[in-house]
Structure 1
């Protein structure tokens, strides 16, 4: 298994209604988070500690919240907020 990101919970529904350029920014930042998590957690499947704390990322037009689950080798986008600015 290799590191990937995906929408979780209500973020998947919110992604259906958000503008394409905003989603492109979210997906680009999520790709960067995956690369960083993969570099920090080289042996992800063997991870036995608690998962690192997630966070918020500001992108043009809004923000999103993410959570890293190391044993699953996933970065989950759990919330998307599109403000339209």
Structure 2
């Protein structure tokens, strides 16, 4: 396995209607989170601890809610919230 990120349940449900520039920032930050999680959890697939739970990440244009699941070597994005205009 190798680390990755994805929208849950899917991109259409989570990101529908969000501005493209904001989504680009979300995806850039998601890539950073994947690299950090991979470095922190070197043996992710054999992780025995609890998941960290939901967290918020703030990016230009808003924020998003995500979770790191070491056993699945996965960062999931559950909600994106662009700043109101």
* TM-score (normalised: structure 2): 0.89
- Counterpart-to-counterpart distance in 2, 1:36 and 1:52: 14
**Which ranges in structure 2 are unaligned for 5 or more consecutive residues?**
none
Give the ranges of 4+ consecutive aligned residues of structure 1 lying more than 2 Å apart after TM superposition.
Answer: 9-12
- Counterpart-to-counterpart distance in 1, 2:11 and 2:51: 20
What's the CA shift for 1:60? 1.4
Query: Which aligned pairs between 1:6-45 and structure 2 lie closer than 5 A?
Result: 6-9=6-9, 12-45=12-45
What's the CA shift for 1:29? 0.3
Q: Is residue 2:70 matched to residue 1:53?
A: no
RMSD across aligned positions (CA): 1.6
Cα displacement string for residues 27-61 of structure 1 (whole angstroms, at most 9, x for unaligned residues): 00000000000000000011111112331111111
- Counterpart-to-counterpart distance in 2, 1:11 and 1:59: 18
**Which ranges in structure 1 are unaligned for 5 or more consecutive residues?**
none
Contact kept in structure 2, 1:3 and 1:38, CA below 8 Å: yes
2:78 is aligned to 78
- Counterpart-to-counterpart distance in 2, 1:47 and 1:14: 27
